[in-house]
């Protein structure tokens, strides 16, 4: 289920701006539905001036109807003894279904942000199941891994993290991920010149 913190930032105008009204449609599961009802009541009780509607449901074809933005936060986490292939199969099914629903009922210009790990793979699965939505509208949020790499470079170089730029990571959040520190820059210059 989506983080309450993010929902309140969306409702307050911090994400899309202080003049942009917003309608939140929250997709949950049968297991999370009761908690989702509580979150919806909290949002409504907060009386955010920009929040026009809060709808909840478990059917992506209803929740994604005419959506302009789809923030796909949830994915099944890897449990004890679970093989990575099993997890990919389960999450693949979830993101394939969500891609099909977005393709069928969302705005043709919907922007899709996938956070659920492995977000690169999940974003690709969702994209492949939504052929009517431009591929450029799908994004995987790997920022946590990028931030970690920036922090490690900054600590090693003895500078504050805002001095690190051009840092990229390749791959999913796993042992096969590759931080591209060779192209990173410290204080605006190539990393190679600061060794």
Catalytic residue among 5, 139, 173, 194: 173
Give the β-pairing of 185-186 and 164-165.
Answer: antiparallel
Q: Give the SS3 label for residue 119.
A: helix
Instruction: Give the torsion through C-alpha atoms of 115, 65, 131, 118, to 10 deg.
Output: 10
Cα–Cα distances (Å) from 167 to 124, 144, 172, in that order, read 22, 12, 16
CA 71 – CA 15 distance, rounded (Å): 12
CA 138 – CA 119 distance, rounded (Å): 11
The residues near 62 (Cβ < 8 Å, ≥ 6 apart) are none
102's enclosing H/E stretch is helix 84-105
Residue 173 annotated to the active site: yes
CA 130 – CA 99 distance, rounded (Å): 5
Catalytic residues: 173
């Amino acid at each position: 289920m989506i983080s309450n913190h993010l929902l309140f930032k969306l409702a307050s105008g911090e994400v899309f701006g202080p003049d942009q009204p917003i309608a939140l449609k929250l997709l949950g599961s049968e297991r999370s539905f009761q908690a989702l009802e509580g979150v919806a009541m909290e949002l409504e009780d907060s009386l955010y001036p920009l929040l026009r509607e809060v709808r909840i449901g478990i059917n992506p074809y209803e929740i994604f109807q005419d959506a302009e933005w789809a923030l796909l936060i949830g994915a099944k986490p890897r449990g004890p003894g679970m093989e990575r292939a099993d997890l990919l199969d389960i999450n693949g099914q979830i993101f394939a279904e969500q891609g099909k629903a977005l393709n069928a009922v969302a705005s043709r210009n919907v922007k899709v942000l996938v956070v659920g790990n492995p977000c690169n793979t999940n974003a690709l699965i969702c994209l492949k199941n939504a052929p009517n939505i431009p591929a450029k509208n799908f994004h995987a949020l790997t920022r946590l891994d990028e931030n970690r790499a920036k922090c490690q470079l900054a600590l090693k170089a003895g500078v504050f993290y805002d001095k690190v730029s051009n840092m990229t990571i390749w791959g999913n959040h796993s042992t096969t991920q590759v931080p591209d520190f060779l192209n990173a820059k410290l204080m605006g210059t190539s990393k190679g010149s600061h060794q």
